[in-house]
Amino acid sequence: MHERVNSTVISAARRPAGLFFRLFRARAVRTLALTAAAFAGGAVTSSLARARSERQSPYAMMDQLARVLVWIENEYVDPVDRAKLIEGSIKGMVAELDPHSSYMAPEDYGVFQGDTEGHFGGIGVEVDFSTDSVIVITPIEGSPAELAGVRSGDRIIAIDGQLVRDRSPADLVRTMRGTPGSRVLITVRRDGVDHLLYFTLVRRIVTVTSISSKLLAGKIAYVRVKTFQSGTHAELLAHLTNLRARAGGGFAGVVLDLRNNPGGLVNEASAVADEFLDGGVIYTTRRRGQVVDEVRADAEGVLRRGPAVVLVNEFSASAAELVAGALHDQRRASLVGAPTFGKGSVQTIIDLPGGAGLRLTTLRYYTPSGQAIQARGVTPDVLVGGAPGDYGIVREQNLDNHLPAVEGALTETPPPVLTPPSGAAAGKGPKTTEDVDHGVMRDVPADPRGGPDQALATAYAMVLKAAATPNGAARPARH
């Protein structure tokens, strides 16, 4: 499978197996020749020069690593696993780069591939993580969890008898997933039930859809993109075909919902943006001050006409920000909601021997007008909730060691605002209830106006008004 975060895959197997050793041997030969020449000419090398040469050598720290490894193996209080130590050093090296670069051991890489491809062995639940439980947002239709009776709002407190409290989300995901046909026991606490519930589930291949849609009153198409995974563009076209049929041949406008979308595959995101455009730039990428690529739309987008509004919030990140920025800068759609997360970097996924993987930040991407998304995000035309500095909201700029917006700029890491506004509950972001998932309605009504989702109500009203206006566009007045 050669489709990843930005469709760039470098396979270690394709590299010349002996390249490193040839380079190392060549350097050794050159060093030997220079040393011989120096002694032949009567040269004397000072200890200061040697020290400077060692500091400049890329192998000096490798020698240091070897020394530390020897000390640990020989003197640590308990026996150690050398492979585990070396793997830990690789993880630490990559983690020093930025929050989104990482070395993935084979097990972690398998989970990552399942996420981007949209199918994996598991129990089939969409979940949210808290400090002491895993909250079921919804069981996936037809999944082992749904068939066993797991419900939205259930709190998973233990998996295979092990409490989930204080365990990382990545660890919990690995525990719930597994080989199809294997069994897993989950312990659930359910509101209104005075005893714990136990479900023994048989894992199977679960396929996650990335698109949901609905035809709203006034023939307005509502399309939500939950993530950009393999096949998202094809899913979009299938949903649009269905919506057109239900609308009797066409619809009056579109609300594209990218809220809570963490990003995903950039090629899928650009294909979705392309459907809304009749040409022009979608985004550009840059590395080390140079433009690497400029991605342009063609003139055949199926949604290139008619009013459109894009919904975003503080959890819209990466590829979702790319789409929002493209449609905004090309004046194709207005943005409604909260300022986005601000992840404007692209990670290349590199296959490594033994089934491991490397996720390496290789590019920054920019909107068609040349605006950086990294650490800045995209600001909506109409702000509805989640304003900059909102209490408890963490964005890219709050992450330690994040990339600056522009290469060479000083990195400042402002902390999230810790003082709650009047009436706010500690630690609360967009609300989650049985009807609303982080501010986004689970079941969108035909007419969202007057409902709990204020951003959706605003976007719907804008599109509806524009659709009723000849040559109307769902854009607020610009000053």
The tens digit of pLDDT for each residue in 59-82 reads 888 899 999 999 999 999 999 999
How large is the angle between the packed helices 106-117 and 169-176, nearest 10 degrees? 80
Helices (H), 106-168: 106-117, 144-148
| Tokens standing for residue 250 | 């066409």
Between CA 24 and CA 21 the distance in angstroms is 5
In a domain, residue 474? The reply is no
Q: What are phi and psi of 404, to 5 degrees?
A: -70, 165
Q: Name the 3-class secondary structure at 312.
A: strand
Last residue of a domain, one of 207, 236, 257: 207
Token representation of residue 149: 């009776």
Q: Where are the alpha helices (DSSP H) in 162-275?
A: 169-176, 232-247, 266-274
> What letters, b where the CB count within 10 A reaches 16 and e where it falls short, cover 366-394?
bbbeeebbbbbbbbbbebbebeeebbebe
Helix (H, G, I), strand (E, B) or coil at 13: helix
For the record, the structure tokens of 91 come out as 């993880």
Of 170, 190, 207, the residue at which a domain comes to its end is 207
Note whether 179 and 265 are same-domain residues.
Answer: no
What's the domain range around 254? 211-467
Pair (279, 364) in one structural domain: yes
Q: Which residues contact 184 (CB under 8 A, 6 or more apart)?
A: 123, 159, 160, 175, 176, 178, 200, 201, 203
**CATH label of the domain that carries residue 201:** 2.30.42.10
Query: Does 33 fall in a domain?
Result: no
Contact 110, 174 (CB under 8 A): no
Check whether residue 257 and residue 127 sit in a common domain.
no
Yes or no: say if 119 and 424 are a contact pair by the CB < 8 Å rule: no
149 plus 264 within the same structural domain: no
Contacts of 413 (CB under 8 A, 6+ apart): 397, 398, 399, 400, 402
Are residues 237 and 303 located together in one domain of the fold? Answer: yes
Look at phi and psi of residue 42 and say left if phi exceeds 0, alpha if psi is from -120 to 50, else beta.
left
Of 174, 207, 240, the residue at which a domain comes to its end is 207
Let me know whether 174 and 235 are in one domain: no
Q: How far apart are CA 331 and CA 272, in angstroms?
A: 16
Phi and psi at residue 473, to the nearest 5°? -130, 140
Residues 277, 284: Cα–Cα separation, whole Å: 16
Residue at 74 is within a domain: no
- Decide if 165 contacts 140 (C-beta within 8 A): no
Residue with tokens 């062995």: 121
Looking at the structure, do residues 166 and 281 belong to the same domain, yes or no? no
Q: Is residue 60 part of a domain?
A: no
- In this structure, the answer to whether residues 197 and 222 fall within a common structural domain is no
CB-CB contact of 336 with 309 (8 Å): yes
Print burial letters for 292-326: b (CB count within 10 Å at least 16), e (below 16): eeebebeeebebbebbbbbbbbbbbbbbbbbbbbb
- Please report the pLDDT score of residue 7 as a whole number: 37
Residue at 223 is within a domain: yes
142 part of a folded domain: yes
Contact 228, 282 (CB under 8 A): no
Q: Say whether both 168 and 305 belong to one domain.
A: no
Task: Please tell me the predicted confidence (pLDDT) of residue 412.
Answer: 57
Bridge partner list, 290: 287
Same domain assignment for residues 220 and 310: yes
| 358 and 445 belong to one structural domain | yes
- Annotated catalytic residues are 318, 329, 343
Question: What does the alpha-carbon distance between residue 461 and residue 49 come to, in Å, rounded to a whole number?
Answer: 73
- Burial label for 127, CB within 10 Å (0-12, 13-18, 19+), is buried
For 85, the token pair is 């130590």
Whether residues 408 and 440 fall in one domain: yes
The verdict on residue 463 lying in a domain is: yes
Instruction: List, in sequence order, the alpha helices (H) in 6-46.
Output: 19-40
Instruction: Residue 377: give its domain's CATH number.
Output: 3.90.226.10
Say how many domains are in the chain.
2
Tell me the backbone φ, ψ of residue 150, rounded to 5 degrees.
-70, 140
Residue 54 lies in a domain: no
Low-confidence ranges of the chain (pLDDT < 70): 1-56, 130-131, 386-392, 408-434, 472-479
- Coil, helix or strand at residue 220: strand
